[in-house]
Amino acid sequence: MKMNKLWILLLALSFGKSAVSQSSYEVMEKRFVKRSLSALDSAAFIEAGIQKAYSLVDFTQVHYSNSGNVSNQRYVETKVIELFYIKPNESLNTDSIVTLVRSVMQSKSGAPVEIVFTKKKGVLGHVATAGDRPKFEADVILVKAPKKFGKLSEPVWQVFLTNPVLRY
């Protein structure tokens, strides 16, 4: 009898957890298609922008540590492009971006690169590497852009970096 109660309890907990997981996923999913955003949504998008800046540093490290692997280089360049908002009919020079970030990394003498976020009027915010120059900077923007889901496409809020600059 005790064993049956244990199984029922485990089964009930399992269903309850999946229901909570499903509802939190739905809340997060709705964040990307809302018309207006709450402060909590904005905080989540700011965090995504900061993470994109750290991803750029990580991709730069991979790019330079595997410079002899051509397919790896192309993959990294593709991933770097995905971090930035590029207007139609414009392009992004990934070699320049990676070179800029690399110069910051070299100035740190092996210490980890820290990203600092600040508010900036007209955009979601601004990210910059911490410390003295050289300093990599970029704006963080939030754009509702089409995103493919299999054969379907739906406009969703997406975070991008834009206006990359290296300050000496």
Residue 109 has a pLDDT of: 80
Q: What is the DSSP string of 15-51?
A: HHHHHHHHHHHHHHHHHTT-SS--HHHHHHHHHHHHH
Contact 94, 74 (CB under 8 A): no
C-beta separation of 79 from 59 below 8 A: yes
> End-to-end CA distance of the chain, in Å?
74
Please give the pLDDT value at position 146. 83
pLDDT at 85: 93
For the chain, domain boundaries: 37-167
Q: What are the C-alpha distances in Å from 77 to residues 62, 83, 88, 138?
A: 10, 10, 18, 18
pTM of the model: 0.75
Contact 128, 118 (CB under 8 A): yes
CA–CA separation, 142 and 152 (whole Å): 22
The whole-number pLDDT of residue 11 equals 55
Q: Residue type for 168, please? A: Y
Per-residue pLDDT of the chain (168 residues; tens, 9 = 90+): 445 555 565 555 555 555 554 455 455 555 555 567 788 888 999 999 999 999 999 999 888 888 788 888 888 889 999 999 988 888 888 888 888 898 888 888 878 999 999 999 999 999 999 987 889 999 999 998 888 888 988 888 999 999 999 888
Q: In this predicted structure, what is the pLDDT of residue 147?
A: 83
